[in-house]
Amino acid sequence: MAPPGALGFIGLGVMGEPMCANLARRSGLPVAAFDLDAAPLARLHGLAVRACASVAEVAGHADCVFLSLPGAVEVEAVCRDLAAGRGRTRTIVDMSTSAVAATRRIAAELARAGIELVDAPVARTRAAAQSGTLLIMVGGGDAAFRALEPLLGCMGSDVVHCGPVGSGQAVKILNNMVLFMTGQALAEAFVIGERAGVGRARLAEALARGSADSFALRNHGVKAMVPGEFPRKAFPTAYALKDIRLALELARDCGVDARGAGLTAERLQEAVAAGFGADYWPVLVKLVAGAGTDPE
């Protein structure tokens, strides 16, 4: 795979907009972008990002197009539009989180149209997207990884080649599964601790010095669960539920009884049903606090 000469970016949401900004700022290559919302396109104008009116217009300008979309349904629709546009695009890098089987099926369809799909989902927070310090997990061939690594490095500080196409999605899904399961454990610990007379901040400080320390504790626990702040312009509970369901789907495909992840999925479903679907997913702690029973 030859290094691309012009880039595209489709999907400028909470994560996509800062990722596109860093790609444009650091790569030195022209970037054509599209989103259904005109606001992020206007904000990126100062970075010389070309605002496009359609997916087909992006395909006409970009050798390599990056996607940051809600899920596999949107990814498949955009990939078909890129292929149907008969533009210059020969590589699509899907940075969304999608099912492994769907990713591999879409890759096969695109290959018949002469387009290579590489999956490169991201992990870490919105702040990491803004600072360009994301973890990026890549599924694709060796040559494609070598060609894309410098571009992905514009958006992430850690770029890991996980294996053939679909492998990046597998690693991302499992990463999120462990994160949400840890988040559920933290939510339960904070509520139990409070009712036992130990405040959340003090418990978090103690846990961070022991074997329970984790990225989830220091970020989702300390920065969200302890102060009780669950903004809506962050990773919502509904997205967390979608991701852990992808993990359960992968587990079933692999013949694994992932019952721990199943319990976390049930708790996330309860949070969505309780009206927390748009809130930052550590809001689980509110659900646990409301669902608990007072000791006799």
Which residues, 6 or more positions from 101, have their beta carbon under 8 angstroms from its beta carbon? Answer: 166, 249, 253
Instruction: Report in angstroms the alpha-carbon separations of 205 from 189, 202, 217, 222, 284.
Output: 13, 5, 9, 9, 20
Q: Running DSSP on this structure, what letter comes out for residue 280?
A: B
* Closest C-alpha among 295, 288, 133 to residue 221: 288
- The CA distance from 34 to 51, in Å, is 6
* Closest C-alpha among 6, 131, 142 to residue 63: 6
Catalytic-role residue among 172, 223, 233, 242? 172
**Look-up of token digits 């070598």:** 146
Helices 284-291 & 259-271 angle (0-180, nearest 10): 90
Our answer to whether residue 242 is catalytic in this structure is: no
Residue pair 82/62 in contact (Cβ under 8 Å)? The answer is no
**Judging by beta carbons within 10 Å of its beta carbon (0-12, 13-18, 19+), is residue 216 exposed, middle or buried?**
buried
Alpha helix ranges (H) inside the chain: 16-27, 38-44, 55-61, 72-84, 100-112, 126-131, 142-152, 167-195, 200-208, 215-216, 237-253, 259-271, 284-291
Active site (catalytic) residues:
172
